[in-house]
Amino acid sequence: EMDRHHDALTAAREAVARFRWMHGAHPDAFREDLVNALHNLEIDLHNLNLNDEAQQGAQELATLADEPQ
């Protein structure tokens, strides 16, 4: 079961990296995708008790929420 959680974490990190890049190029088009990817990553991090890293993701989500749309 831990392998599945680690596989999910790897996939979530890759998704966040891609959406960060796309959001940087086209913020309006990829904002929601980045928010969803960060949320999924945060869940995976909590499932693996990586709470400090999950908190960093939560802070990035808060920053995105503060950006004008």
The pTM for the full model equals 0.88
Residue 10 has pLDDT above 90, yes or no: yes
* Cα distance between residue 1 and residue 55, in whole Å: 24
Residue 69 has pLDDT above 80, yes or no: no
- pLDDT, residue 27, reads 93
Contact 16, 46 (CB under 8 A): no
**Per-residue model confidence as pLDDT tens digits over 31-67:** 999 999 999 999 999 989 999 999 999 999 999 888 8
Give long-range contacts, CB 8 A cutoff, 24+ apart: 50-59: 57/16
